[in-house]
Amino acid sequence: MTEPVIQVEGLYKNYGTVAALRGVSFSVEEGEVFGLLGPNGAGKTTTVEILEGMRTPDSGLARVCGLDPEKSGSQFKEMIGAVLQSTSLPAKIRVKEAIDLFANFYRVHGNTNDLLKRFQLEEKRDAFYSQLSGGQKQRLAIAMALVNNPQVVFLDEPTAGLDPQVRREIYDIIEELKGGKKTVLLTTHYIEEAERLCDRVAIIDYGRVIKIGTPRELKHASAGTTRIEVRLAKPVENGVLGQLDAVANAREFDGTYVLHSTRAPHTIVALVKHLESDSNELQSLEMFSPSLEDVFIELTGRRLRD
């Protein structure tokens, strides 16, 4: 067994009275795409930026390629690349200039024209940063994260705020990285992204890792349940839906009832019968095969996107 490329043990971090991290531990092997999945405020950015050497933990251990990110200086920075969640570039810098500029800071760096081509920024090479769309800015940010051909890449919510089609473009780019044997740490609050891109996922909530595994393992752990989401004409009493046939658990989020069922057909028949006897009515019903969202609901009692 080789050493993990990223090693995190018992990280704690407070901002004043806010406990952002409360003992985060995980490790990432070489060549893995590892996801931190969690809602806003879970502590993803704090964790990643500690690993980038941008923030100081109160306690705990963080190592990247065996180095302490905070103390290893240039040697460390030459090895990593990152897309930050909150950052910007000067409004009047041109796309090509930005890549050239950052490339020049590194001892080893890729060719700007290749990067422009690879990230479909060729026709935008002379555009000002302020003229780019959200997706183009993000492609530029990823290109800049890769200028030094880093061994480890950190992507902090690389698709947040982009529309679904643009998001999928970025997925293709990240999948390409996977082929390149780089170690990638990706944070996201999109289930789809974690499921599609990550070899392994750590689900993180309120500054703690609550579950780690491959997307498949995690879904398996949610016992092969189907998620049934219904809206009803009248509210029902708490707990009634949880009593229905084959229902593992039932919760209500803003008027939508979310049931996890081990045998969906049985549950649906039971539900309809119950509603008839209660002179209630079904307004809508949707079924979902198990996803990481269900794992999250089961573990935390909340939905990922609220």
Partner 1 sequence: MASNVIRNTWILTKIRVRLAMRNRTFLFFSLIMPLGFLFFFVTIFSKGDSAWTAYILGSILTMTVMGSFWGLSVQLVMFREAGILRRFRLAPLGAGPMLASSILSNYILVLPSVAIEILVTKFALHMQGWGNLWAIFLLISIGSATFSAFGLIVASVTNTMQETQVINQVIWTAFLFLSGATVPLARFPHWIQGASLFMPATYLATGLENAATNLATHSEIITDLIALGIGLLVAFEISRRLFRWEPEAKLPGSAKLWVLAVMIPFIAFGVYENVKGDRLALVRQDFQMLNSTSMATPPKSH
Ligand X SMILES: Nc1ncnc2c1ncn2[C@@H]1O[C@H](COP(=O)(O)OP(=O)(O)O)[C@@H](O)[C@H]1O
Residue 46 interacts, among ligand X, partner 1, Mg ion, none and using kind-specific CB cut-offs from 5 to 8 Å, with: ligand X
Q: What is the DSSP letter of 132?
A: -
CA distance 109 to 150: 9
Q: Is 134 in the site for partner 1 (CB under 8 A)?
A: no
Residue 43 interacts, among ligand X, partner 1, Mg ion, none and using kind-specific CB cut-offs from 5 to 8 Å, with: ligand X
Judge whether 171 and 193 are in contact, CB under 8 Å. yes
Min CB(88)–partner 1 separation in Å: 5
Nearest to residue 175, comparing CAs of 198, 152, 191?
Answer: 198
Q: Is 155 in the site for ligand X (CB under 6 A)?
A: no
Nearest to residue 61, comparing CAs of 111, 103, 17, 24?
Answer: 24
Q: Is 74 in the site for partner 1 (CB under 8 A)?
A: yes
Burial 157-193 (b: 16+ CB within 10 A, else e): bbbbebeeebbeebbebbeebeeeebbbbbbbbbbbb
Restricting to residues 15-34, name those near ligand X by CB under 6 A. Answer: 15, 18, 20
Which x/- pattern, by CB under 8 A, does the window 99-118 give for partner 1? --xx-xxx------------
Which x/- pattern, by CB under 8 A, does the window 137-166 give for partner 1? -------x----------------------
Q: Is 159 in the site for ligand X (CB under 6 A)?
A: no
CA distance 54 to 84: 10
State which of residues 9, 30, 70, 97 lies at the interface with partner 1 (CB under 8 A).
97
For residue 45, the one-letter residue type is: T
Residues within the interface to Mg ion (CB under 5 A): 44-45, 85
Give me the residues that bind ligand X (CB under 6 A), please. 15, 18, 20, 38, 40-46
